[in-house]
Structure 1
């Protein structure tokens, strides 16, 4: 498969790139900073410089043309303000969806956030509330499109080694999960058409990824 990952230099994206490349997939990682190209190459991905905040859907459609799937794993990151939460976490996701539609790429996997359905409701921290509002808006936009989409909402992310054991459910309750295992879930979802139209949370648990997904999609 040919997979285009938005947010290619993020931790999950780099791990995902390595996992996909190791199994023989062609991976394209979108980066804003050309200095990050070497890291993507080391992970087995082809770096392409594209700014999700300032590029156009037509430009991005040219990049994703011919892909089997796109993955949105971008984020404004720590230290960014409310405005960038909206322009990256919402605007970037919408732009990727627009580009996928224009290029005829139907498969779209979104890395969202736990409890995104609630948005920023009841959150006192202005920036975190903006982040959750952006995630909700991005998910809502994707769910309204005629694409083969899957929305993955991980719990608290850690840099611990992955175990390959997860809990996957519409609502898992609070918990954490290594980024390596989130990437494993994305890989499995990309291979499984039964996950089209699925919105699910994922945390560390007791089931192998394939078993957890099979139970969820039965």
Structure 2
């Protein structure tokens, strides 16, 4: 599978391209800055600048020939509401439009836990709002074969290879970035994940099994 990872300069994106490469997939890292592309190329990855502020038609030219797109980019709610809207919402939607224009069917979206439930937006509300509307667009305004992954609070803990896709009120609300990356890889390899919105927190179920059994 030939995969384009948008946001590969970020922590989850970088782990994703590493795991995809180990899995034998042909992967290109889409990054925000030229120096990030240079660093990744020196590390042995195919990498190029992918500008989320450009137009969908321009993005589509870069995506032609790929089998799947992973959207792992994001402001994280830390760069101000303006950039959150331009990256996490409009950048995401333009990436979907570009994927469709490029003839790509498969699209993996990294969202946020409980993005669909406004009553649970505990902080960085512009970020959650951006994720909410981007996810809505993906589900209802595209024909993409999507999987939406909703990780909880991201940690730098080592990956465990295990998650829960059914968070409870008194259970974990966090997950390691490495396990999110593994869930992305598992989703790409599992057609049964298409059309699903999958919450992700740390847990006890092996990731491949958890993705396959997610409702």
Aligned partner of 1:93 in structure 2 is 92
Q: Does 1:146 align with 2:143?
A: yes
Aligned partner (choices 120, 124, 130) of residue 126 of structure 2: 130
1:38-93 CA distance string (max 9 Å, x none): 4423564311112102x111111111111110000001246311111110000111
Q: Does the C-alpha gap of structure 1 residues 61 and 172 become closer, same or farther in structure 2, counting only changes over 3 Å?
A: farther
Aligned partner of 2:156 in structure 1 is 159
- TM-score normalised according to structure 2 size: 0.92
Aligned partner of 1:63 in structure 2 is 62
- TM-score normalised according to structure 1 size: 0.91
Contact 1:72 1:110 in 2 (8 A): yes
Contact 2:154 2:176 in 1 (8 A): yes
Aligned partner of 2:78 in structure 1 is 79
Provide the C-alpha distance between the structure 2 equivalents of 1:78 and 1:130, rounded to a whole number of angstroms. 7
Cα shift at 1:124: 8.0
Contact 1:21 1:44 in 2 (8 A): no
Cα shift at 1:215: 2.4
- Flag structure 1 segments of 5+ consecutive residues without an equivalent: none
Provide the C-alpha distance between the structure 1 equivalents of 2:122 and 2:13, rounded to a whole number of angstroms. 30
Q: Does the C-alpha gap of structure 1 residues 153 and 122 become closer, same or farther in structure 2, counting only changes over 3 Å?
A: closer
Aligned partner (choices 183, 200, 203) of residue 201 of structure 2: 203
Q: Does the C-alpha gap of structure 1 residues 123 and 175 become closer, same or farther in structure 2, counting only changes over 3 Å?
A: closer
Provide the C-alpha distance between the structure 1 equivalents of 2:73 and 2:120, rounded to a whole number of angstroms. 25
Give the alignment's Cα RMSD to 1 decimal.
Answer: 1.8
Aligned residue pair count: 212
Aligned partner of 2:33 in structure 1 is 33
Q: Does the C-alpha gap of structure 1 residues 80 and 58 become closer, same or farther in structure 2, counting only changes over 3 Å?
A: same
Q: Secondary structure at the match of 2:214?
A: helix
Aligned partner of 1:22 in structure 2 is 22
Cα shift at 1:122: 7.6
Instruction: Report runs of 4+ in structure 1 exceeding 4 Å deviation.
Output: 121-125, 171-174
Contact 1:172 1:202 in 2 (8 A): no
